[in-house]
Amino acid sequence: MFGFLSGLMTGRRLEERRPVASVPAGERVYAIGDIHGRNDLLTMLLKMLVQDAKAFTGKVTLVFIGDYIDRGPDSKGVIDTLRKAIPDSWTTVFLRGNHEQAMLDFLVEPQLRAEWLAWGGIQALESYGVPLYGTKGARGPEALATELAHALEETGHKAFYEATTLYHVVGDYAFVHAGVRRGIPLEKQLPSDLIFIRDDFMGRAHDLPYRVVFGHTILPEPMVEADRIGIDTGAFQSGTLTAVRLEGDSVEVIQATI
């Protein structure tokens, strides 16, 4: 089932008095929310976006909001798709989510960062063929990290994760994984806020000169407000992966649902 929701507006707020955000003329931006191992939904949504952009002759930028891995069944497949299934003519931006950061931290300090396993890391390990049990029972964090590092080197995925960025700007839009700290210029935001912030961002004016497109916080439906657009609809559990198309000052939400 495919769904297009045009001009979806929720939660009107005072910030609607802000100047209308726009993308530079001749450009179109698609942003895709948290994938979390749902390669089936990602593959479906990418096909939809390619079809949607078929008649567009300008510059297309595709921004992924982070959290590609964990929880869902096919983290490895998601990264394979991201590396191989996007039109060469499109500009791609891969933001870092808190789950990618947690995995990278686990590789460096597996004993101290073993909480990643409870965040969905177990499913990611399984997708990379890393067995959770050996001949003597459950394997420890050190052994799991060593084998995962080997799998990431073999697949070339480690370089992908390490190359992810914290934010991206196009026109009047700023793209981040989680949100921003109020009143702090984007380039001075703490990395931990950009990938982890939640309560101090949601429902509060951020006072930055951008309309912020973000994921991280699962929403029952996409949030489109004057100063922010939230596109994490919990694909791993809801079966709905959300994208937003930005062109000029228009906003259109595009969803793939299974």
Residues spanned by the domain of 228: 2-97+166-257
State the pLDDT at residue 18: 75
The span from the CA of 29 to the CA of 104, in Å, is 28
* pLDDT, average across residues 221-239: 97
* pLDDT, average across residues 165-179: 98
Confidence (pTM)? 0.92
Pairing mode, if any, of strands 228-230 and 211-214? parallel
Q: Is residue 139 part of a domain?
A: no
Contacts of 213 (CB under 8 A, 6+ apart): 31, 63, 65, 173, 174, 175, 176, 228, 229, 231, 244, 246
pLDDT digits (tens, 9 = 90+) for 50-103: 999 999 999 999 999 999 999 999 999 999 999 999 999 999 999 999 999 999
Structure tokens at 233: 């609809």
CATH number at residue 204: 3.60.21.10
State the pLDDT at residue 135: 66
Q: Is residue 117 part of a domain?
A: no
Is residue 136 pLDDT above 90, yes or no?
Answer: no
**Per the structure, how many domains does the chain have?**
1
Is residue 8 pLDDT above 80, yes or no?
Answer: no
Q: Is residue 20 part of a domain?
A: yes
Residue 223 has, within 13 A of its CA and on its CB side, a CA count of 23
Q: Is residue 236 part of a domain?
A: yes
Please report which confidence band the pLDDT of residue 3 belongs to, taking 50, 70 and 90 as the band edges. Answer: very low
Is residue 44 pLDDT above 90, yes or no?
Answer: yes
